[in-house]
Amino acid sequence: MLREAERVFQRGVTTLRDIVAPAALDVNQNWIKVGERYARTLFVFSYPRFLTTNWFSPIVNLDQTLDVSLFIHPIDTSVVLQNLRKKVAEIESQIALREEKGFVRDPMLETAYRDIEELRDRLQESSVRLFQLSIYLTLWGKDPKALDDAETIVRALLEGKMVYAKPAVFQQAEGLKSTLPYNEDLLGVGTNLDSATIATTFPFVSFDLTSDHGILYGINRHNNSLILFDRFSLPNANSVSFGVSGGGKSYATKLEILRSLMFDTNVVVIDPENEYQRLTESVGGAFFPISLTSKHHINPFDLPMPVEGESQSDLFRSHLLEVVGLLRIMLGALTPEQDALLDKAVVETYASRNITPDSDFTAVTPPVLADLVTILERLEGGRDLAIRLQKYTQGAYAGFINQPSNLDLDNRLVVFNIRDLEDELRGVAMYLILHYIWNIVRAKLVKRLLLVDEAWWLMKYPEGASFLYSMVKRARKYYLGVATITQDIADFMGSPYGQPIVTNASMQFLFKQSPATIETVQKTFNLTDEEKYLLLESAVGSGLFFAGLKHVAIEVVASYTEDKLVTTKPEEILALREKPPEP
């Protein structure tokens, strides 16, 4: 009586099973309805003679809702060897019988014979083991038609690799349970494969980017190994970094600066948002604010220093082209006549100071922008150009670019801050700084890293994009690595020089991306769908790291002290300003 009462009571108690159980279950011959959703289980029953590594990845990365189960059952090697011995005898007898009857040889029999003999040798040597592999796929959809569409896609992908699957007809309930986390193979449809072949099935291919030298970039999220790498060990030391605002680009860049300084690398940074000042002051670097009222000036007419192995005449002509490129950005649209006149005026401006390709560049005083304006006023048709340039010599922008250079770059870390410049002048300033740095880079061979943050400001101008690409392409010759950083990949790749700059970068960093630009990123870097979704869902400081032909998922990590120096969080910066770090 008491037991019956207990059973009645238990039936009225709500359990976890009652909570998670669907409202209804309808089992059909080739689908099963769980609540309001339909499911269909497929099993793989045939494989080709050869399987490539990562062949199963397209199924795992498919943009469909599906559950996948892999059951790997070990097989006794001694039993396998006995069966293989019998199979070899059968095939040998078939081959001999065909030869006696004078039949043409059967390539399929001969191939099977070689494969079995090779497998016997490898099993006998214990270099491989034999397992029974079962692969089950449960597809989900809102109705049977959606299941049919999903099945067509999955089977097409598999059959493209000569792997064949079919539905578990009249066994859909067992199939569904086999793909649930019960560790129960209720279908029991398997294929005997060796361990090397089964290894190709795993869709998780992890490269190792740990070397004996270089700096720490982060942690490999696939296997938790350290990503230690030296960018100068690659064919070129250039890199590009893309990510949304707040994705961790600047944080990772500042960490690289800090760690590169410990390995005798000189670093130059173009800082559009004043993010590098605290780091610069902490390591004793040189910080130059460039603005309309700044005391720091760069003269675009400064002459390049002699470069070993290059003629001074070629150096001077290259310099003239770079100056004209800057003037085109400053002036905007020019007619072909005005462009030719500007080129002539620049040459005459240097001639007014008795500077020619054969002059001693170390013993002359270069002209300034006001000298060019004077020359243009005297030239026929140059009045309009002179008026347009006067705002840089007498107008609102006077003092910004019309002064002799007065910078001392004798420091391991040099940062140019252009935050206080108007948006209209940022592209001009970035070109001007790059031109000034390029002259110094070519003059003395030193291991250097140049970081151009928010490079899209420069990429908006064809002349600026062309000059940046020229630096990227020639940087290796001068022991220079150019790191291009931007959050606006659409504008960057919209330039005709965007793709060539990416192509000439042996390292790429991809941080969190927005849905609006992810398709451009996927196409540019040939990402899989899995990598695409990884970038969409990445946390701050996480993403993908490419080095040469290898790439891994990365998580940027810093020590406590490093974090205090490179943090970009406003609340942490305010707290640190109240309590400066100890030297």
Coil, strand or helix at 426 = helix
Coil, strand or helix at 308 = coil
Sheet of 239-242, strands arranged across:
226-229, 215-220, 550-555, 542-547, 507-511, 239-242, 480-486, 448-452, 266-271, 413-417, 286-289
> Cα 147–149–152 angle (5° rounding)?
105
pLDDT in tens, the chain (583 residues): 667 767 766 667 777 777 777 778 889 999 999 988 999 999 999 999 888 877 888 887 777 888 999 999 998 888 878 888 888 888 888 888 888 888 888 888 888 888 888 878 887 777 788 889 999 999 999 999 999 999 999 999 999 999 999 999 999 999 999 999 888 999 999 998 888 888 888 765 556 667 778 899 998 887 778 888 889 988 999 999 999 988 889 899 999 999 999 988 999 999 998 899 989 999 999 999 988 888 888 999 998 887 777 788 888 888 899 999 999 998 888 888 888 999 999 999 999 988 888 888 878 889 999 999 999 998 888 899 999 888 888 877 877 788 889 888 889 999 999 988 888 888 889 999 999 999 899 888 899 999 999 888 888 888 889 999 999 999 999 999 999 999 878 778 888 998 999 999 999 999 999 998 899 888 888 888 888 888 998 888 999 999 887 888 899 999 988 988 888 777 777 777 776 555 5
Q: For the segment 535-570, what is each residue's pLDDT rounded down to a tens digit? A: 998 888 999 999 887 888 899 999 988 988 888 777
The residue behind tokens 């990590």 is 557
- Find out whether 542 and 221 touch, Cβ atoms under 8 Å: yes
Instruction: Read off the tokens for 204.
Output: 């998780």
* Predicted pLDDT of residue 57: 80
d(CA 558, CA 251): 9
d(CA 522, CA 547): 17
DSSP bridge pairs for 481: 449
Distance (Å) of CA 46 to CA 50, 60, 62, 192, 454: 12, 19, 21, 10, 52
* Predicted pLDDT of residue 205: 55
d(CA 424, CA 11): 76
Instruction: Read off the tokens for 577.
Output: 């300003």
* Predicted pLDDT of residue 9: 61
In this structure, the chain runs to a length of: 583
- Beta carbons within 10 angstroms of residue 210's beta carbon: 13
DSSP bridge pairs for 288: 416
d(CA 157, CA 401): 60
Coil, strand or helix at 210 = strand
Instruction: Read off the tokens for 516.
Output: 């609006």
* Predicted pLDDT of residue 364: 86
The residue behind tokens 């420069």 is 458
Q: For the segment 514-525, what is each residue's pLDDT rounded down to a tens digit? A: 998 899 888 888
The residue behind tokens 């609340």 is 571
Please give the domain boundaries of the chain with CATH numbers for all domains. Answer: 2-75+129-199 (no CATH), 206-235 (no CATH), 238-297+412-501+560-578 (3.40.50.300), 299-404 (1.10.8.730)
- Find out whether 512 and 249 touch, Cβ atoms under 8 Å: no
H-assigned helices in 444-553: 456-459, 462-474, 489-494, 498-503, 518-525, 529-537
